[in-house]
Structure 1
């Protein structure tokens, strides 16, 4: 098969470009959409700053939904790539069906729990009487449509795992462009305000779900989504969870840190500080999202070559991806520092919010170039089956190091300590990941073994 020969024999550099560029483009468009979406919300007349803060309050809940969505998708699609590398099409189709089943199950759980306790959850996440009603209007719509969003996301990722990254990216790009068109229509023309942003988002999520479903049922896919495979299979679920547990814990940890940060920001600066951090986080994600796209392309190459027992090619894919990511994020940091007033101005015209965000962004994003190494190193160990090591690495940046730093720094340095906490955690996480990558590189005598869970 031509696809198999490409992944097994072509130069890793060209493969990384071929499999990552579509994902990077999709992530760039997604991050651009997120930026514009929040910019639209922040420009709502007579309440843009409060609406932006409301999105900040909702961000932990977004992250928790994403934890289930991404973990199941990555766990399932990595196994699909591995089985295709082993030329086991039948088992790849079973993994696809089980992945969709788990996403639907997770969506039902998310909807029931969060709709029932939504107001209490938003207050717990740092909301106030001003921001909770706005966040609630937004999240109810997002939650209800997660029943389609979660399986749609997994199916889109499976298209990439099957070896068609361009189509997967095209779906994401079209969805995001449509979203950018629909948002101002619903927000401003129909005067639905923050709820309009949610409606625009879910319409695009439905589109991606329908398109991806059609591809795997009536389209030209190499594996098919069969109704008989959409079921609970204990053995396959275990394999999916084994790989998916790392990104799940990463996302949950991130959500927990968002909650803690919101509470601390509220104590030191109120709703305005939450809005400023929302803008800073959005700007950082604008440059980080392409690195996640790169990691997706890298992961497909690594998983396929692990299935084919070509271990050195898997390692080379990691090293090249790190070089690309570090270079890109270094340029990103330079761009942010030179045009920070422009970036922050996209989100709000509130002078107090802009001044606070300008102060915080130079501190909070200073370690941006290091984050790519942490992300890619964690994804690498997750993909090759070293689950304990990957879990540990996933928790270093967002829990093990950040939590104590975030607790003590504001007590000593006030709001500066909040902005500086993440960079300090990033440096410690970088040192940890690099040491493990060096150890793995020296350990050439022991080939990668997907049955190992060594730390």
Structure 2
């Protein structure tokens, strides 16, 4: 593999550069999403649909702690991209060292709190009835590996900021492949049940951290830090916090949504309806991987060129990213509209050995999935504007608009909708809240992004 440098972000044609950055990011997200997707299939077929619901209950807590690493990673990477664009290498090194120290301190403290409040958090996030025990098993084991995941997510963002998308892709592939192999061994061969699913995932996190560490210690990375770079710097920490807070707020709202959705759906239809949402949640992560890949590929390009004052390239990258993301989003939309029943069937076992309870739960899930999935993904073709718009402001260091636009869909629109509509429309009110929130947030983001381009990116 030929060695690449971050300077290419400011010189290569935007179209080919976006593909070069986005394809590895998309592949990495695809493999990671396939891991979650296939992992859910394994769990559903080898343990049961209630086990899928149990994992879904745990995700908000573990994802929130891991999101601390992602937030620190994305916030710091915005600084690193702009610092490399303006040839300020020392600021990039100091930022990276501070990212590592901050991630270790914050995630370790959160894990200790998470373990202490285990019995309170699981029911709060919907782990009630028969879901509680498998959720507690999974939660306790997963939490030990979450700091490794947080460091991986932080490191992955920095790797992309260096302009090394292929290595970032490998960092996502390694734990995913390991998790699937260990799923087979621990769940199917050793028959460890939920313990096996949890240990397979945790082992994947550890392997991911091992690879990320290897990358930064090797000659492939431009960021060779020393001990002095780990000393926390107030200015750097505040900038990381303001930009990373955008990602953290998004993940925090996501956790709140899981909490609300699991409880609302449990009250409407019990454990099987929670399992319906668990499957749709997996599809939200899996099906949109190319759109998220374009978004991740776009951010270092926009950040580097903004730092280098190449505003024409920033503007071009926005338009190109929206065009690419919208195209792949439409393809995803078409597939999901045609095959929702077939997709749901992948998660459900038809084994004769299933208990009556599991058979009834599977039948309920199969009946409710098609309409729910079509409604949840109804507005997917237009979400590219919202995702790229929010990502732009984060990439160029404008924390306030990035935060507000990031929260428009889930915080300002979706949460009020799911609190109101189910009272009048029942289960249908839950699912129809998704496309309404998508449309409203896209309109707001589109208007704000257009104003930003006309005001700051034209004529400079």
TM interval, shorter chain, is over 0.9
Tell me which residue corresponds to 1:405: 417
Q: Name which of 34, 37, 41 aligns with 1:35.
A: 37
Q: Name which of 424, 427, 431 aligns with 1:419.
A: 431
Tell me if the contact between 1:378 and 1:393 (Cα under 8 Å) persists in the aligned partners: yes
- Specify whether residues 447 and 110 from structure 1 end up closer, same or farther in structure 2 by C-alpha distance, changes over 3 A only: farther
In the alignment, structure 1 residue 386 sits paired with structure 2 residue 388: no
- Specify whether residues 356 and 268 from structure 1 end up closer, same or farther in structure 2 by C-alpha distance, changes over 3 A only: same
- CA shift, 1:280, in A, is 1.1
Superposition map of 1:44-443 within 5 A: 44-45=46-47, 48-349=48-349, 350-443=362-455
Distance, in Å, in 2 between the alignment partners of 1:370 and 1:113 is 39
Tell me which residue corresponds to 1:451: none
Tell me which residue corresponds to 1:25: 27
Runs of 4+ more than 6 Å apart = 445-448
Q: Name which of 18, 26, 39 aligns with 1:16.
A: 18
Q: Deviations over 1:315-361 (max 9, x none)?
A: 21111111111111111111112111221112123121111112311
Q: Give 3-state SS (helix, strand or coil) of 2:87's partner.
A: coil
- CA shift, 1:33, in A, is 0.9
Distance, in Å, in 1 between the alignment partners of 2:30 and 2:327 is 16
* Pairs aligned (count): 446
Distance, in Å, in 2 between the alignment partners of 1:445 and 1:121 is 46
Distance, in Å, in 2 between the alignment partners of 1:246 and 1:112 is 24
- CA shift, 1:301, in A, is 0.5
Q: Deviations over 1:147-188 (max 9, x none)?
A: 222112212322221121112212222321222111121112
Q: Give 3-state SS (helix, strand or coil) of 1:441's partner.
A: helix
Tell me if the contact between 1:360 and 1:419 (Cα under 8 Å) persists in the aligned partners: yes
Tell me if the contact between 1:152 and 1:212 (Cα under 8 Å) persists in the aligned partners: yes
Tell me if the contact between 2:375 and 2:434 (Cα under 8 Å) persists in the aligned partners: no
Structure 1 length normalisation: TM-score?
A: 0.94
Q: Deviations over 1:399-446 (max 9, x none)?
A: 111122111211111111111111111111011011111212221478
- CA shift, 1:447, in A, is 8.1
Q: Name which of 7, 10, 26 aligns with 2:9.
A: 7
Distance, in Å, in 1 between the alignment partners of 2:36 and 2:387 is 20
Tell me if the contact between 1:51 and 1:131 (Cα under 8 Å) persists in the aligned partners: yes
- CA shift, 1:74, in A, is 0.2
- CA shift, 1:59, in A, is 2.5
- CA shift, 1:297, in A, is 1.1
Q: Give 3-state SS (helix, strand or coil) of 1:131's partner.
A: helix
- Specify whether residues 5 and 101 from structure 1 end up closer, same or farther in structure 2 by C-alpha distance, changes over 3 A only: closer
Tell me if the contact between 1:156 and 1:208 (Cα under 8 Å) persists in the aligned partners: no
Structure 2 length normalisation: TM-score?
A: 0.93
- Specify whether residues 2 and 188 from structure 1 end up closer, same or farther in structure 2 by C-alpha distance, changes over 3 A only: closer
Distance, in Å, in 2 between the alignment partners of 1:66 and 1:93 is 23
Runs of 5+ in structure 1 lacking a partner? 449-455
Distance, in Å, in 1 between the alignment partners of 2:195 and 2:457 is 57
- Specify whether residues 44 and 445 from structure 1 end up closer, same or farther in structure 2 by C-alpha distance, changes over 3 A only: closer
Tell me if the contact between 1:66 and 1:251 (Cα under 8 Å) persists in the aligned partners: no
Tell me which residue corresponds to 2:357: none
Tell me if the contact between 1:153 and 1:209 (Cα under 8 Å) persists in the aligned partners: no
Distance, in Å, in 1 between the alignment partners of 2:341 and 2:32 is 22
Distance, in Å, in 2 between the alignment partners of 1:4 and 1:277 is 41
Tell me if the contact between 1:217 and 1:225 (Cα under 8 Å) persists in the aligned partners: no
Runs of 5+ in structure 2 lacking a partner? 350-361
Q: Deviations over 1:67-124 (max 9, x none)?
A: 3121111011121111111222222111111001111112112211110001210101
